[in-house]
Amino acid sequence: MTAPKARVSLNLPQSLKAAAEDFAMREGVSLNQFIALALAEKVGAARAADFFTERGQGADAARAVAWLEGRPG
């Protein structure tokens, strides 16, 4: 079962569209697939950054470094 799709109208500078078309062609995918993948990567990276920012709240940096260096905390 595939996820429902949404149609988006996107205005890009011609130079950015041309660059995206070039990357898509080199990757062997459509421009639509390339843009969807690029957007998914950006959203995933932002969500990961948010996750680690929240996870790190109140963390003890010295204890974390000691753990990474293999010393008991």
Band the pLDDT of 3: cuts 50, 70, 90. confident
The pLDDT tens digits for 19-69 are 999 999 999 999 999 999 999 999 999 999 888 888 888 888 888 888 899
Structure-token match 């996820």, residue found? 3
Task: Give pairs for 7-11: CB < 8 Å, separation 24+.
Answer: 10/35
Q: Are 6 and 17 in contact (CB under 8 A)?
A: no
pTM exceeds 0.85:
no
Task: Give pairs for 18-26: CB < 8 Å, separation 24+.
Answer: none
